[in-house]
């Protein structure tokens, strides 16, 4: 077993990105054997993801820029006889659970298990011949929402299961299976493709650009890797998260915002004299021409639409800024995105924690860019900070936040890292 791990270390740069990864793998292998009385045959890994810019643009057929982060979900697997799946997660250590592959149902008590249940269900529907399996899950991806802990979990499970049973499925196809799983009645989360797509397609040292114009059966028409080096300006990305603020997409204002965008399409089709199938087809100039009319019709809808149209424009500008080394411009676009998400899209609704993080964080010396991250309605943000100012940034923001809400913030500097992969087989 140690020999196989050494080979995977030589072939996976993730061990360099996550300094504790080797320890977590070794610990997980020991825990798996103690729990299931056999050795794990497969260890799969999928990172969390950072939505760098492109907020709620995915379901509007727009653009987004994301990357994998150096936090991950590890899944340890081995086959067992029969049609049962035993699963245990170190994040929910109450007890191991058992899934009946021929009777996969929603669990209303241990809701975390609905994610792998839905993945198994979709793999079976896709014709993947699964058998009984023992599974152990270990994750250090924050669960508060915003870095796609659920997508990381789903994709790592899907990757591990398909490799364990000899199915060669590309990562983006696996990501689509996992998105379908999360949207299904077993989970009922209305996420778009950005989460699973980012987790699957991420690459060390790169950003992933998504064009969410559907093409055939795929929710994206293009997925491109974008080079960009923030280290030349002695900067780091850092995720700021309050792990005590929990949210579920289906229980927030996410569906209402999605509906508001879709409901505006009839207005745009009539005003522009052509069929508008998504807000990506409305330019900034066209929005400005009819902004006042939309405001009179529905002021809230105008705000939601304005955010999406300008956010698409910001993604394209930010991508170009990264490519051309215009880091200051890139940081300013991040801050503009965060301001728009809060003031126009209202992603801090009932979440004063997010308001403080974004608005106060961007005022601190050494911050080049600051925005919310993820679907919103949680306490998580992304900052672009000068390396020598990181300690002061953490101290200043952490102190003020604790004084206001009584919670400690977690600060997670990260590097861009690889997407879904097999560490041991």
- Please name the residues in contact with 315: beta carbons below 8 A apart, sequence gap of 6 or more: 53, 54, 57, 62, 63, 64, 65, 209
Q: Are strands 63-79 and 206-211 parallel, antiparallel or unpaired?
A: antiparallel
- For the chain, the distance separating the N- and C-terminal CA atoms, rounded to the nearest angstrom, is 9
Token pair in block for residue 5? 């791990």
Per-residue pLDDT of the chain in tens (425 residues, 90 and over written 9): 444 544 355 456 788 889 999 999 999 999 999 999 999 999 999 999 999 999 999 999 999 999 999 999 999 999 999 999 999 999 998 888 999 999 999 999 999 999 999 999 999 999 999 999 999 999 999 886 678 899 999 999 999 999 999 998 999 999 999 999 999 999 998 788 999 999 999 999 999 999 999 999 889 998 999 999 999 999 999 999 998 887 655 557 888 999 999 999 999 999 999 999 999 999 999 999 999 999 999 999 999 999 999 999 999 999 999 999 999 999 999 999 999 999 999 999 989 999 999 999 999 999 999 999 988 888 999 999 999 999 999 999 999 999 999 999 999 999 999 999 999 99
User: Token pair of 107, please?
Assistant: 């669990």
What's the pLDDT at 9? 55
The answer to whether 121 and 105 have CB atoms below 8 angstroms apart is no
Question: Any idea what DSSP says for residue 111?
Answer: G
Tokens representing 103 are 């009777």
Smallest Cα–Cα separation from 411: which of 401, 421, 403, 420?
A: 401
Note the pLDDT of residue 7. 39
In this prediction, residue 378 carries a pLDDT of: 87
What domains are there in the chain, each with its CATH number?
Answer: 2-227+417-424 (3.30.230.10)
CA distances for 170 relative to 68, 121, 123, 303, 421, angstroms: 17, 18, 13, 38, 11
For residue 4, what pLDDT is reported?
A: 53
Question: How far, in Å, CA of 322 to CA of 209, rounded?
Answer: 12
User: How much helix, strand and coil, in percent to the nearest 5, is found in the chain?
Assistant: 45, 20, 30
* Helical residues (DSSP H) of 92-148, grouped into ranges: 114-125
């Amino acid at each position: 077993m140690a020999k196989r791990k050494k080979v995977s270390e030589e072939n996976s740069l993730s061990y360099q990105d996550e300094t504790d990864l080797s320890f977590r793998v070794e610990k997980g292998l020991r825990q798996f054997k103690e729990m299931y009385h056999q050795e794990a045959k497969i260890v799969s890994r999928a990172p969390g993801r950072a939505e760098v810019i492109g907020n709620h643009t995915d379901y509007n057929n727009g653009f987004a820029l994301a990357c994998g982060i150096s936090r991950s979900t590890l899944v340890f697997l081995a086959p067992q006889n029969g049609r049962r799946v035993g699963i245990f997660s170190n994040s929910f250590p109450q007890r191991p659970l058992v899934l009946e592959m021929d009777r996969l149902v929603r669990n209303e008590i241990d809701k975390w298990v609905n994610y792998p249940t839905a993945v198994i269900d979709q793999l079976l529907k896709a014709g993947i011949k699964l058998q009984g399996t023992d599974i152990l899950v270990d994750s250090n991806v924050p669960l508060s929402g915003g870095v796609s802990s659920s997508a990381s979990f789903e994709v790592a499970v899907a990757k591990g299961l398909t490799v364990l049973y000899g199915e060669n499925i590309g990562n983006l196809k696996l990501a689509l299976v996992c998105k379908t799983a999360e949207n299904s009645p077993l989970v009922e989360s209305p996420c778009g493709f950005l989460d699973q797509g980012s987790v699957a397609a991420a690459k060390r040292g790169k950003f992933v650009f998504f064009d969410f114009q559907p093409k055939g059966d795929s929710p994206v028409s293009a997925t491109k890797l974008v080079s960009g080096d923030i280290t030349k300006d002695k900067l780091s990305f850092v995720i700021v998260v309050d792990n005590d603020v929990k949210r579920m997409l289906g229980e927030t204002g996410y569906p209402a915002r999605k509906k508001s965008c879709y409901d505006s399409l009839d207005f745009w089709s009539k005003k522009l004299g052509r069929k508008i199938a998504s807000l990506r087809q409305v330019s900034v100039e066209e929005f400005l021409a009819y902004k006042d009319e939309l405001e009179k019709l529905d002021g809230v809808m105008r705000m939601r639409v304005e955010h999406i149209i300008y956010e698409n424009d910001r993604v394209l500008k930010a991508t170009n800024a990264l490519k051309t080394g215009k880091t200051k411009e890139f940081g300013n676009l991040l801050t503009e995105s965060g301001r728009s998400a809060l003031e126009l899209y209202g992603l801090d609704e009932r979440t004063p924690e997010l308001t403080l993080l974004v608005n106060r964080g961007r005022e601190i010396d050494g911050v080049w860019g600051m925005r919310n991250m993820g679907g919103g309605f949680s306490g998580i943000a992304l900052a672009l900070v000068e390396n020598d100012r990181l300690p002061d940034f953490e101290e200043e923001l952490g102190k003020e936040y604790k004084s206001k809400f009584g919670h400690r913030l977690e600060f997670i500097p990260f590097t861009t890292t690889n997407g879904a992969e097999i560490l041991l087989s």
